[in-house]
Amino acid sequence: MNHAITLTVNGVVREVTVPGRRLLSDCLRHDLGLTGTHVGCEHGVCGACTVLLDGEPVRSCLTFAVTVDGHEITTVEGLASGGGLSPVQRAFSECHGLQCGFCTPGFLCTVTAFLRENPAPDHEEVVEAISGNLCRCTGYQNIVKAVHRAAEIQAEEAG
């Protein structure tokens, strides 16, 4: 049985009809064509599918699309406003916080929400914040640097 749902994705109201078992990750990618959200493990370990649900980071592979009917979703495609990159995206670019890029959308969503809550984190807090996102290329060092750099950029822009 299919369900007609309405999601506000990156500020745009989208109506879509999905079976009950459609994961939010698959709804975004297949039904709405937003392939920026990546699907890795599909059991909540890798963090590649992380999106923001009403501003809070969640695993889209551990969420049914029908459950979040009426809610707001932000994907990696919606992190930047205008034509440029968001502060977190710029920091990842500057610090070489990615290689193959598969895990990057999940990191960007996780870090964006984290810095909103904790704008000046210490090293331990950064490591804990990204502990639920796996990267098999970078060894994390540049990702950690990128998080600190993103905090700097945001502080500069706010000041």
Partner 1 sequence: MKPPPFDYHGPVTLDEALGVLAETGPDGKVLAGGQSLIPLLNMRLAAPAHLVDINRLPGLDTIEAGPGGVRVGALARHAAVERSAAAAAVQPLLGQALRLVAHPVIRNRGTVVGSLVHADPSAEMPAVLALLGGSVRLARRGGEREVPAEEFFTGPMESALLPGEMAVSAFFPALPGRSGTAFRELARRHGDYAMAGVAAAVTLDDDFRIAAARVACVSVGPVPVVVDVTAACGPRPAASVDWDAVAAAVLDRIEPEADIHATAEYRRHLTGVLAVRALRDAAREASEDPEASDASDASEASEASEGEEGA
61 makes contact with partner 1 (CB under 8 A): yes
Residue 62 or 120: which CB sits closer to partner 1?
62
In angstroms, rounded to a whole number, what is the distance separating the alpha carbons of residues 41 and 59?
A: 11
Q: In a 10 Å sphere around its CB, with 0-12 CB exposed, 13-18 middle and 19+ buried, how is residue 14 labelled? A: middle
Q: What number of chain residues touch partner 1 (CB under 8 A)?
A: 30
Residue 36 or 132: which CB sits closer to partner 1?
132
Q: Give residues 75-114 in contact with partner 1 (rule: CB under 8 A).
A: 110, 114
Return the amino acid letter for 102: F
Interface region with partner 1, contact rule CB under 8 A, candidates 47-55, 81-89, 137-145, 149-157: 47-55
Tokens of 107: 């990191």
59 makes contact with partner 1 (CB under 8 A): yes
Return the amino acid letter for 45: V
Q: Which of these, 93, 83, 97, 101, lies nearest to 144 by C-alpha position? A: 97
DSSP state of 31: I
Q: Given the rule CB under 8 A, which residues bind partner 1?
A: 1, 3, 19-21, 23, 26, 42-44, 47, 50, 53, 56-59, 61-64, 66-67, 69, 110, 114, 128-129, 131-132
